[in-house]
Every structure is written in C-alpha cells, then in structure tokens.
Structure 1
Amino acid sequence: MVHRLTWFEPQRGDDQLREFFITALMDMGASLILQDKDGTYVCITSLPSRWRLTPGVVPSDEAIFGEEVGQKLAELKSGLVNAGDRAELEIEGGEDTFYEFRCRMVEMADHDLHMITVVIDRTEDRRRERLLRALLREVSHRSKNLLAIIQSIASQTARYSGTLDMFLGKFRGRLHALSQSQDLITDSSWRGAYFRDLLKQQVDRYVQENADLVQVSGEDVLLTPNASLHIGLALHELVVNAVSHGDFLQRRLPIEVSCRKLDTPDGPVVEMLWTEPYTARATEDTKAARFGSTVLERVVPSSVNGEAKHSLENGQVRYQLRFPLEIFD
C-alpha cells in the first residue's frame, strides 16, 4: 500500500507497525502528538521521561507539560489555522535539558484537520553548540596571543638586524620554530608540549646528523602552551647559535641540556640548563654575535615570568632559565 511518501505491506499487522514507529521515534529522541481540530488529544507516542501522563486525567498540553509550557504551546497553536501552517518553539526543560516543539496543521485522509506536534530532545545539540562556542572563543584567544608573540619577535628581530637579509633569515627561523611548537600543542589538544619534544624539533632541524652531540637529562616536563612556545623559541636560539658561532661539531664535544622540576618556598619551578663547550679564543665580534640575543635574555624570561642567566666563561656557554611551573587541572 502506498500513501503519499509511505509504503508498507498491507498484510503486516498494525501492532507490528506501531512497535516499529515507536521504537524508531525513541531512538531518534522524538515524540509525536496528534490532536484533532478542536485540540483533543488523539495519540501520544514515546513521551519524554520528564513529562508523564497522569492516570485518570484527560491529556492536554497543560496537564502533560505544566502550566507554563502549556500556555506557550496554546499561544503557538492558536496561530495555526489552515493545512500546512507550522510553527516551532524551544523549551528549556530544567536540569540543563532542551526540547524543540514542532507543530503543524495537516489534512488527514478524511479531509479533517489535525494538529501534529513533534517533540525532539535537543539537549545534546545545545551542549555541543556551547562546547563549540567555548572552543571558538579559546581559539580566538590563543590566536591573539600567538599574533602578539609574532609581533614581538618581528619587532625584536628588526631592532637587532643590520640588514634586510639578516632580518629575514632570523625571523623566518624563529617563525618556523614557533610553528613547530604550535604543532606539538595542537597535537596534544592544547594541553601543551613536552620539553624533550621541543628540543628534538630543533636538533632534528639543525644537527640531525650529529644528534648524539646534544645530550639531554632530567625530567621530561609537560609545559603549558605559552611556556611551550617560548621555551621552543629559546631552544631554537641556542641551537642556531651553537651551529653558527660554536665549534662543538668540529671538536666533537657534546652539548648537555637538562630540565628539572624544583620545589621552592614560592611553589614549583622548572629549571632548564644549557651547557655548551666553547673555545675561549673566540673573537670579541663572535662573542658579541652570540650574546646579542634579546630573545634569550629578555623575551623568553619575561614571557614565562622567569629569570635567565646567559654567560660565556671557563670554556663553556651556559644558559640557565628558571620559571614557575603552572599546574594542570
């Protein structure tokens, strides 16, 4: 038998079809209500559990849904007169639940007008929408922070670059280091990045064939997103300086990098220490080139609320950075 857009076998019993439709509606989180043109209830299927039919009480919008919702539905339905008229209403059901009421006037096979109301549970949809809005706000906030960091890097790089080529070389390297750290943060669902992963990124980029000459010890601390971006930037500066101005590769002497968590009266802190062998006979120009890094001495420490010591003595380059450890919830 075919009726409009519905097909079913006539030999199937009404009970079987009724069970099928009710089960399907329950799986969809939907309920159907049929009323005649006078508003008398004809049929109700799979009513949401928060609303009940009271035994012995004639079903009505107010009796089922309460006075407040019943009045809203009555006002909504009063504007539906002709076949095809429709209207929608969203109701907050309490306890962070939401339901959508879709009302429509239809003409049945006997030409009588009836009101069909579909009640759909929209709770999960609203929760997903709130989560999406929160995520978009977070992305916007982090994007602004990232743009501020890029602006700061560009400004500092320009200030201490003698030529355009020098600026472009330094800025591109720093921007790439920032993007690598951001990839780690994104992969961790914005929790942050581990110290050793940040170091490995820079070692793989600049001294991949001599990775054994960069030795790491201590704890593999999980850093917050902000700390990850700036520590990644500091490690980039240290590795580039070592390759550009150092001689550890020629002398085959390892660079030692450590990361530790320390307890202090003011709370836990992270201490990063970079120790690099360095020829004491280096020219003053080379020393000046190495230690002209505002990123290491100012930008990174101030961005993580820490302090840094950068020195060249006793045949070693030492960079020590201490900053508060932010605790993850």
Structure 2
Amino acid sequence: MMGSDSRAIRLVTASDAAARTDNQPPDADATAWLGAIIDSSFDAILSKTLDGLITSWNGGAEKLFGYTRAEAIGQPITMLIPEDRLHEEIDIIARLRRGERIDRLETVRLAKGGIPVEIEVTISPVRDAQGRIIGASKIAHDISERRRQAEAQQMILREMHHRIKNLLTIVQGLVSVSRRSASTVDAFADDLGDRLAALGAVHRLILTEPGLETDESAALDAVLHAVLHPYLEGGRITIEAPPVDIGRHALTSMGLLLHELATNAVKYGGLSNARGTLDIKAELDGDDLLLMWREHGGQKPSEERHGFGTDLMAAALKGLGGTMERAWLADSLELALRLPRDRLGR
C-alpha cells in the first residue's frame, strides 16, 4: 500500500512475522505491528460496518477530519458526508454488498465544524473468516492542494489563450492597415516591427519570468519608460508620473497610443533634431489622469498629417475612453490627454 508521501507501506501477516529474525517483532506482535503501521500512515484509514457505523479510525483520519478516535468510533459515517452527497454512500454500500472495490473516488467530505475537504478515497469490502462481507475499509487523502494547482494551471492556460487571441487580432489589424498605407515593403516592415516591439515591451511588464507569473497591472511610469526606452539616451526626455496602475486590458491601447506619439516626435517633432526635448508630466485630476506631452524644438507642419498612425491613436483613445487636445505654440507642441482612471485600471 502507498502512503500519501509515496513511501511503500507493507502490510504484515502472521507468516511474515514467523520469518523474522530475533531483532524483529515475534508472531504475537504481528497485529500490533500492523496496527502501528496503519496508525502512523499519513493517509486517513478507517473502517465501517455495512450499516455505516465507524469501527476504526487512525491518526491520519484524525488529522484529515479533525475528530479524535474517541469522537469518531461508533458514529455514523454520514457525519462526514455533505447532504448533497448522501446518494454517494447509498451507491457505495450497494457496490460493497456486491463485493466491488471503489478505486480513487474523488469527492468532498466534511471535517469537524462542517469544513468541506476534497479527498480521493479507495474503499474495499472487508470479509470475515467465512468470506462474508461484514464492512468496508477506506483509505482517503486530501487532494485540495492538487485541485488548487490544477485550477491555477487551467486559469493560466485560459489567460494565455485570451491574451494570444487578442494580440493576434491586433496584429492582424496592424498588418491589414499598414499594408494599405505603406509606400514600400521596407516602410511596411519597419513600421510594423516598431509597433510590435512597443507591444512586446509593455506586455513584458505584466508577464515575467520565471514561471510565467502574471500581474494584473503595470505602473504608468514603467509603461512610459518601456515605450520610450529606445530614445532615453542623451537626457532629452523627462518623465513625471504619479503611482497609477494600467490594467492588463488597457495596456495594449495605452502602449500603442504612447508609441505613436513617440514615433511622431522622432519623425517630425521635438526628437527629430539634436536640440529638441520631450517633457511628459502626468497628474491626477479628480477621476481622470491628465497627461501633458510637451515637445520643444519641433516644427509645425505646413499641413495636417493624417495617416494610419492618426487612425491608430484615435482607436486607442476610444478604447481608453479618453480625449486628446493638440496645441502648437511658438516652438513647441503640447498635447493634453485626459483618461478616465477607472478605464485605465481595467
């Protein structure tokens, strides 16, 4: 028989005892030796009559169910069975009377105080010297932790499926629209690659190694630094952000929005020349986050540009439930983004 710690437990018989050396228990002690092995098992081992009365109760049963041996013996086995599972006991007794063995039944039983315990139990018929079935033995162990681990694994798999599906949908959209707006294959590849890299940077903030632990959110400051990382050298960018978390559902939209703003700054705005700067300052304003994006040293375009990047920013803002106001001053561009905090936290 195997204990819950996977160590083999050998049931000793009288013939085993007779074969022992002088250093081993004699025949008269075989029953006591066997009883000691059973009582020290980590598994709950108990027996009952066919009428459902508990007749034996080991130390493992005391630990699993919380009842002492004195409290359990003589009591009906139904004190361990939830009301909605009493039908299981009727079926078990019927099968035992037919001489059947019930292997590895996963079910729920009640510990002392009515606390549910998830267990796996094996039930075998017990026969007397004439071979008549007079009761049953049960070996049970707690599988609550195993169930929790299995549920956690399923949750991770569902989360991965959900995220991959969403990301593939986003990538499909980026490919489709980029193909229509790109002038050359190289331009298409460069733009798409940069956007995918930005998505990867922000999603690494909530999917970390080892073990693929996942966080539900990422700090705004971390998101800003992740997206702007390629441009931070030289000290031309300053970032001030309050401790605001961006939820995993808002993270994609926020990452794409910031990436498009940074790309425009590098191509046409404050970061397009050696003397330009970019100042980002975010602050809380009631239920909103107000993010000011100020580029110095850029040049106002002669005509308003409208392309895929503009559409992408509009879509990202819509996903975040936010607004953006743009103002050109003497030598700078100011963008004011107002984003509802409740939408950011999702």
- For normalisation by structure 1, the TM-score amounts to 0.74
Alignment of 1:152-171 (within 5 A): 152-171=173-192
Aligned AA for 1:159?
R
Does residue 97 of structure 1 match 2:111?
no
Does residue 139 of structure 1 match 2:160?
yes
Alignment of 1:117-196 (within 5 A): 117-187=138-208, 189-196=214-221
| Rounded Cα–Cα distance in structure 1 between residues aligned with 2:195 and 2:282 | 22
CA deviation profile, 1:42-68 (whole Å, cap 9, x unmatched): 633133436677879746645775892
Contact residue 51 and residue 65 of structure 1 kept, 8 A: no
Which residue number corresponds to residue 198 of structure 1?
A: 223
Contact residue 194 and residue 220 of structure 1 kept, 8 A: yes
Does residue 10 of structure 1 match 2:30?
no
Does residue 72 of structure 1 match 2:104?
no
Which residue number corresponds to residue 324 of structure 1?
A: 340
Aligned AA for 1:255?
L
| Rounded Cα–Cα distance in structure 2 between residues aligned with 1:35 and 1:62 | 11
Contact residue 185 and residue 193 of structure 1 kept, 8 A: yes
Which residue number corresponds to residue 233 of structure 2?
A: 209
Q: CA deviation at 1:169?
A: 0.9
Q: Identify unmatched segments of 5+ residues in structure 1.
A: none
Does residue 309 of structure 1 match 2:332?
no
Aligned AA for 1:76?
R
| Rounded Cα–Cα distance in structure 2 between residues aligned with 1:298 and 1:159 | 18
1:33 is aligned, of 46, 51, 60, to 46
Residue 217 to residue 88, structure 1, CA distance change in 2 (3 Å) = closer
Contact residue 124 and residue 138 of structure 2 kept, 8 A: yes
Does residue 259 of structure 1 match 2:282?
yes
Aligned AA for 1:288?
R
Which residue number corresponds to residue 278 of structure 1?
A: 297
Aligned AA for 2:122?
R
| Rounded Cα–Cα distance in structure 2 between residues aligned with 1:56 and 1:131 | 34
Contact residue 236 and residue 276 of structure 2 kept, 8 A: yes
Alignment of 1:292-307 (within 5 A): 293-295=309-311, 297-307=313-323
Aligned AA for 1:43?
S
CA deviation profile, 1:84-125 (whole Å, cap 9, x unmatched): x55343333365432322123589999998854212223333
Contact residue 257 and residue 313 of structure 2 kept, 8 A: no
Contact residue 216 and residue 258 of structure 1 kept, 8 A: yes
Residue 71 to residue 213, structure 1, CA distance change in 2 (3 Å) = same
| Rounded Cα–Cα distance in structure 1 between residues aligned with 2:148 and 2:39 | 26
Residues 250-259 or 109-118, more deviating: 109-118
| Rounded Cα–Cα distance in structure 2 between residues aligned with 1:118 and 1:252 | 77
| Rounded Cα–Cα distance in structure 1 between residues aligned with 2:72 and 2:171 | 71
Residue 306 to residue 281, structure 1, CA distance change in 2 (3 Å) = closer
Equivalent pairs counted in the alignment come to: 311
Residue 208 to residue 150, structure 1, CA distance change in 2 (3 Å) = same
1:45 is aligned, of 31, 51, 58, to 58
| Rounded Cα–Cα distance in structure 2 between residues aligned with 1:59 and 1:282 | 88
Question: What SS does structure 1 have at the residue aligned with 2:65?
Answer: coil
Contact residue 47 and residue 54 of structure 2 kept, 8 A: yes
Identity of aligned residues (%): 19
Aligned AA for 1:164?
V
Residues 191-200 or 30-39, more deviating: 30-39
